[in-house]
Amino acid sequence: MDTFKDYYQKEVQKKIKDALKLNNYLAVPKIIKVVLNVGAGEAVTNKNVLEKIQEQMSWIAGQKPVITKARQSISAFKIRKGLSIGVKVTLRGKKMYAFVEKLVKIIIPRIRDFRGINDHSIDQSGNLNLGFTEQTIFPEVEFDKVDRLRGLQVTLVTNAGSFDRGRCLFEKLGIPFKKQAVNQEKAISQKK
């Protein structure tokens, strides 16, 4: 296989179609975009923080991120409407598939004490939300150039439309979920 997109189109789509008992390949759920987000509350006091985060995010994503602004004022956090407080980048197309491949094959296996992703990470629309506690888990980030460890949120947006279809998509892509959830479902079905 040349790319992860080819792998998805030639192998994963067929597996999902069979698992969900769909008649048409156009009905098979797919990933539409990947959104990476870093919130920086410290940007209220230090304006240079966003530039450093933006640089690190560009290493991870392979494209320049945008600075996000506060939608409303929150006096408890000293945030005013329109104040720059975060950085995000949206990946589509080839970069999206390259990032998903890197996520499945490199990043998730590097997580310390990893036992699988919780089912609650998938929302009712079939989108997967992952939170990473530090950006150094990504191989592009050089540890010497990191000023501070920051969290990072990754959202894989799909057109699945439901939890079950989204979970099927992510399982077939190779994202590992916790085993206990599957065992609990079997135990519940056996009791009935």
Q: φ and ψ at 142, to 5 degrees?
A: -85, 125
Which residues of the chain have a pLDDT value below 70?
1-2, 41-46, 77, 79, 144, 180-192
Q: What's the predicted TM-score (pTM) here? A: 0.77
pLDDT digits (tens, 9 = 90+) for 3-22: 788 888 888 888 888 888 88
Cβ-contact 158, 30 below 8 angstroms: yes
| Beta-bridge partner residues of 122 | 128
pLDDT digits (tens, 9 = 90+) for 75-84: 776 767 777 7
Looking at the domain 4-191, which fold is it? 50s Ribosomal Protein L5; Chain: A, (3.30.1440)
pLDDT at 190: 59
Q: Residue ranges of the domains in the chain?
A: 4-191
136 residue type, one letter: T
